[in-house]
Amino acid sequence: MSDDATPVTDGGESVADAADADPEDSPAIRRLADWDADRLSDIADEHDTPLYVTDLDRVAENCARLRAAFPDADLRYAVKANTARAVLEAVRDAGLGAECASAGEVRRALDAGFDGDDVDYTAVNPPERDLDAVVEWWEDGADLTITVGAADTLDRLRERGYDGRVCVRANPGVGAGHHEKVRTGGAAKFGVPAERVAEVFASARPDFDVVGLHAHAGSGIHGDEDLAAHREFLARVADLAGDVGDLEYVNVGGGIGVPYRDDEEPLDLDAVAAAIREELDGLDARLALEPGRYVVADAAVLLTRVNTVKGAPNELVAGVDAGMTDLLRPAMYDAFHEIRSLEPDSVDREEAPVTVAGPICESGDTFCEGRPLPVPERGDLLALGNVGAYGYEMASTYNSRPRPADVSLAGELLRERESLADLTRLER
């Protein structure tokens, strides 16, 4: 890993130090109740809301926990989970590589100081401009690896004169994950069909340095049903790897989930690691993984203020200044995020069924419906937990709403709040 950049700090401790810490010194999952309410309130007062707050030390601790569970594996952070420059630098300093789903993510990783040979570009039906850019950076000396999921992509790389490192993505026909929209292992969009993998390897080897086999079951793998499907996925990947042989590594993707509900237990990461090693036992290749959500999910919260309180049949509606443009997961995946009032007197208030709704002109713009919460008042500060993965990354400017700011727990501005002028800056 490149070590020439200044380590990011958060809360007075260097992220590099946090990454070197014993994973047993930090909890396996950080609950919303574990965040300091006074500190979050101070940050909200200084930077306004809606606002993401990111704990960079927690990012480093999660990286250290993964390294302890998979000491011999090649770990590559799935950049799409959170692309903030400070997050990428924290991951780099913790010793992980970068897995990138677009040319833009490759550029971000290189700019954040990742060495080219620590970067994978996992091309899914890649646009022409993406391939052009990635091959150009390779020609300029970034010795990255391109993961291809179609024979067509190999042809397009040949046309561009690329003869570098290639990994072939297989579709094993088994998916797992928290929602049908993120179960990739069985979706035809992703990877070479299992029955064609050997053929594609044979076609690629004369023209490229074919180094690996890749497959990915899905995102947010957590419950027993998901883990059972993941075991079947691993068994199929092992069979494919045995068939093609002569591999530097076998990449089984990411998807390691985290509990979003307070009553859910975290994964036993050591048990998951043991299951992966058991299923891949006997392969003469290094294990590679691409964790994303696990690294950053519990490292950030979203702060929002109540601006409207109104009664409705059987519930109260708390209108807040954050919406689906700031956090899309509840609207898109029906995802659950813990919500906590940060008001000092909230523990003394009665609870009532509360719907927390944003300002977007869509009925789906709600963070919860009829959830038992302290009776809200206008001006209350609320926090939503586990938003570090696919929170800010999926933010949009729908309804012409500027995207929020992102601040470290130490109070350092990581991403500026967009202005109304920013919304029209590119228009002509």
Which residues belong to the active site? 361
Q: Quick one: three-class SS letters along 97-138? A: EEEECCHHHHHHHHHCCCCHHHEEEECCCCCHHHHHHHHHHH
The annotation places the binding site for pyridoxal 5'-phosphate at 255, 290-293, 390
The structure tokens 């998901």 sit at 226
Euclidean distance between CA atoms 122 and 78, whole angstroms: 10
Question: Position 66: which residue type?
Answer: L
Instruction: Classify strands 9-10 and 13-14 as parallel, antiparallel or unpaired.
Output: antiparallel
Euclidean distance between CA atoms 364 and 361, whole angstroms: 9
Do residues 270 and 256 make contact, with C-beta atoms less than 8 angstroms apart?
no
Find the helix packing angle between 85-93 and 103-111, rounded to 10°. 60
Do residues 382 and 339 make contact, with C-beta atoms less than 8 angstroms apart?
yes
Q: How is residue 75 written in tokens?
A: 């770990």
Other Cβ atoms within 10 Å of 38 Cβ, number:
9
Q: How is residue 374 written in tokens?
A: 């302290």
The annotation places the binding site for substrate at 293, 329, 333, 362, 390
Closest to 191 (Cα-Cα) out of 219, 217, 170: 170
Rg over CA atoms, the chain: 22
Q: How is residue 265 written in tokens?
A: 């237990």
Find the helix packing angle between 151-159 and 128-139, rounded to 10°. 50
Do residues 374 and 350 make contact, with C-beta atoms less than 8 angstroms apart?
yes
The annotation places the binding site at 255, 290-293, 329, 333, 362, 390
Q: CB within 8 A of 366, min separation 6: which ones?
A: 330, 331, 355, 356, 357, 358
Q: Which helix (H) or strand (E) element contains residue 166? A: strand 165-171
